Structure 1
């Protein structure tokens, strides 16, 4: 076994790396090998297991201790034969112990895939690569190889530079199966390419040091646990109280930290909620808060979601930590929310209540959209009546206020208002104005003016979101592209070849 190197900020990161770069065996069809020396087949490396493949062997990327009846415990590096694939939990047999059970599919990778390399990140976007490389535990020279967004079947090398930026390099593929970043240095395998640039920068911005350090992925939610017993939850700390109930930090079955939203009795129809919740749980994206389970047999209804350590974006922005966030981070928050909304847009869904209070923040300062679709099933008259005290007038598009016309374009309007919350660190929109005054002002064509610290380009995005005709407002996909490249619009996506 190769000697183990350890991530230099192991304590803050919670992960370790076994850099087995000296184990570069014979060259396979594509000239690429997994950790165990097995050649990768001639397909796009890193592809997931074929549907229904009952004979695939996977390698454990992390250790797992069985949490539920029927689970299979395993150690990092253990091999297992997949017997059945079903969603996020696969049935497998350990080739070490012979035991069978269910395993979390995001804890394993096929033995002959690039995903067994700790520097390979499958399916990650350029922007998320930057977020992760600039995150806790990473240093100058931290790197990853990922699938190229622009060239299907190709790869990109992303490296953290000394100036706090991330540089991206396209990895070119030779017809013979080799790889190169610069034409003067080609390699038969990606492992050889990594080993070369770990020894010297050779034209890159930095010599490669450690694979990108990321937290262990979340375990998938318990298989088939949708309607769960109320007694399986222990409510531990009240996180806040909203218009329709309270939010608690809780523990599920004594082992999983979750957030529980308790709905005030009478605030919604159980049948209507369950119908909407079944749609909500199908929306799965890393910029959306994950809906895990519900308790609906009796009131109060409980909604169980993933736990987000730093609470709502609104409260975070108002905190001392939030006030320290520089403009680029505020723009990044905006881009993350736009990405989540672009997914909702693509799925032909509508949020209906998009604002900073309904966006949550993780320990790593990642934003996730919460409460999508929930507004549709609220039955409180103070909310459903558009003149009611609980109706979020200041975030709502004119056509939704006047005619109840909620569409993805009314969500775009709300996003423009949310941008003002972010850039002002949580200030109430239309400061000093009542709801009635806001409605009358909008009828006259009034729009909030640009604040002192809001860049002109960001204000232009807001004004596009606030166009009177819904069809004239931009798509979330377009807004996402503008915000993700807000500071790099004039730069080339990739560095020039060294």
Structure 2
């Protein structure tokens, strides 16, 4: 079923630009002509030789309709031979037709195990819990996934329920026999994972539940079009204004009539094109499931457009203030915090800095996955109102003292901001330091003041905030540490895995 990073979604009234004839061309299905197509006998030999090399054969996990010139369409279950692996688009040949073209790599699998609906490759324990507890799944819904701790081993995750804690997820280690078989309990062994699943679907036999149906797996989002980085302005149709910020507007848009995207339009003069391109080229290398994906740019003339993946629920700040967000229970709020810490741990690992971490710069999709947006943009804004601490747009209440006083932005100043972000999340979007002006906040911080704990904030979470607000940057924790603490916030004293049944 592909990696967790690939299990995503995709889907568009207004103001369109573009030449229909030009756009229609991108809609046409094209196949690269097979060089032996004129000779049936030669084509048969070509296919036979390819079949001898089974090493690069992949199986289609989903249907794919060719969208761009040079694409190769296919049907679920079809076998293809990979000719060249480069990035997200692989060159491949259909075994059944001999046609060649580019295919989205997250729509196919090399391992036949990945074709099983219950197998989820590259899914962490925490993400397994998020997916199994998502709407649409039920008691007994399950998945088998790669083990995080034992390479080559597997884990079984099952949705359970009890009167005290409601719906939960239980995890079981699947152990491997020297002979190649599998077992959860040594009382009974299986030669394949398929046999194991079949057995526990008939009876629970010591598990928390009898297995019912595989965890729902949304069809992954197709990779962005090959080599489409600087794109024509006319290829975008701006359809709905989603909001306006300090430096521009955000629109829901459609790219080339087929891909839903978000477009951030930057106010002319807000940044130099050269500085933006240098940062954008770095930003596009940062790819993680908890970071908003940067797809493309329009920079040939102003306003600059930044094209990213579309996030249905908008900013975390707006979501928390909405009726739906107000109904989110505290454990899910902690999970939002853990997701953001996971994304920031990746930024930390890549030696990058966000510089403007707050709920307004976190976006939420329809599956309630939180993703970090606008990382790195703060550094290249050319606006004294934003860059100077006295400026009206400078986010004083989220900024660490050393960054306010000396302009010292580091991953540790991002940690401080994360502590402030935690107060926004647990209070459903309340502005930090309520009732205080920016100058009052600066003076209070200089005296050692820290925001007080609210009644609904768990003491353990407040202690994490205080760790983030240590005076010396080097005394603050890492995002990697914060991720581990927040992911296990309610289960720190429990064993991660169930004992053998």
Q: TM (normalized to structure 1)?
A: 0.89
Task: Report how far residue 54 of structure 1 moved.
Answer: 9.4
Conserved in 2, the CA contact under 8 Å of 1:54 and 1:84?
A: no
Task: Report how far residue 83 of structure 1 moved.
Answer: 0.7
Aligned pairs for 1:158-197 (under 5 A) are 158-162=157-161, 163-197=166-200
2:295 is the alignment partner of 1:292: yes
Task: Report how far residue 113 of structure 1 moved.
Answer: 3.6
SS in 1 for 2:314: coil
Conserved in 2, the CA contact under 8 Å of 1:323 and 1:425?
A: yes
Q: Give the whole-Å Cα distance in 2 for the aligned partners of 1:439 and 1:54.
A: 66
The residue that corresponds to 2:220 in the other structure is 217
Q: Which runs of no fewer than 5 residues in structure 1 stay unpaired? A: 1-12, 15-52
Task: Report how far residue 176 of structure 1 moved.
Answer: 1.3
Q: Give the whole-Å Cα distance in 2 for the aligned partners of 1:136 and 1:288.
A: 23
Task: Report how far residue 136 of structure 1 moved.
Answer: 2.3
Once the two structures are superposed, residues 191-245 of structure 1 have per-residue CA deviations (whole angstroms, 9 ceiling, x without a partner) of 1101100111000001111111021011000000000000000000000000000
Q: Give the whole-Å Cα distance in 1 for the aligned partners of 2:292 and 2:67.
A: 22
Conserved in 1, the CA contact under 8 Å of 2:412 and 2:474?
A: yes
Conserved in 1, the CA contact under 8 Å of 2:355 and 2:378?
A: yes
The residue that corresponds to 1:35 in the other structure is none
Q: Give the whole-Å Cα distance in 2 for the aligned partners of 1:198 and 1:68.
A: 42
Task: Report how far residue 152 of structure 1 moved.
Answer: 2.0
Q: Which has the higher helix share?
A: 2
Conserved in 1, the CA contact under 8 Å of 2:59 and 2:112?
A: no
Conserved in 2, the CA contact under 8 Å of 1:82 and 1:92?
A: yes
Q: Give the whole-Å Cα distance in 2 for the aligned partners of 1:67 and 1:376.
A: 37
2:282 is the alignment partner of 1:279: yes
SS in 1 for 2:442: helix
Alignment equivalent of 1:490, drawn from 490, 493, 496: 493
User: Aligned-residue CA RMSD in angstroms?
Assistant: 1.2
Task: Report how far residue 95 of structure 1 moved.
Answer: 1.1
The residue that corresponds to 1:239 in the other structure is 242
Aligned pairs for 1:239-278 (under 5 A) are 239-278=242-281
2:74 is the alignment partner of 1:100: no
SS in 2 for 1:75: coil
Once the two structures are superposed, residues 312-359 of structure 1 have per-residue CA deviations (whole angstroms, 9 ceiling, x without a partner) of 000000000000000000000000000000000000000000000000
SS in 2 for 1:187: coil
Task: Report how far residue 55 of structure 1 moved.
Answer: 5.1
Conserved in 2, the CA contact under 8 Å of 1:54 and 1:83?
A: no
Q: Which runs of no fewer than 5 residues in structure 2 stay unpaired? A: 1-8, 11-52
2:128 is the alignment partner of 1:129: yes
Conserved in 1, the CA contact under 8 Å of 2:321 and 2:428?
A: yes
SS in 1 for 2:156: strand
Q: Give the whole-Å Cα distance in 1 for the aligned partners of 2:478 and 2:54.
A: 42
Q: Give the whole-Å Cα distance in 2 for the aligned partners of 1:182 and 1:377.
A: 57
Conserved in 2, the CA contact under 8 Å of 1:54 and 1:82?
A: no
Once the two structures are superposed, residues 410-457 of structure 1 have per-residue CA deviations (whole angstroms, 9 ceiling, x without a partner) of 000000000000000000000000000000000000000000100000
Q: Give the whole-Å Cα distance in 1 for the aligned partners of 2:72 and 2:150.
A: 38
The residue that corresponds to 1:67 in the other structure is 67
2:233 is the alignment partner of 1:230: yes
Task: Report how far residue 135 of structure 1 moved.
Answer: 1.0
SS in 2 for 1:496: coil
Once the two structures are superposed, residues 43-87 of structure 1 have per-residue CA deviations (whole angstroms, 9 ceiling, x without a partner) of xxxxxxxxxx99511111000111111001111111111111110
SS in 2 for 1:160: strand
Aligned length, in residue pairs: 447
The residue that corresponds to 1:83 in the other structure is 83
Aligned pairs for 1:363-382 (under 5 A) are 363-382=366-385
Q: TM (normalized to structure 2)?
A: 0.88
SS in 1 for 2:471: coil
Point out 4+ residue stretches in structure 1 off by more than 2 angstroms: none
SS in 2 for 1:207: coil
Task: Report how far residue 151 of structure 1 moved.
Answer: 1.7
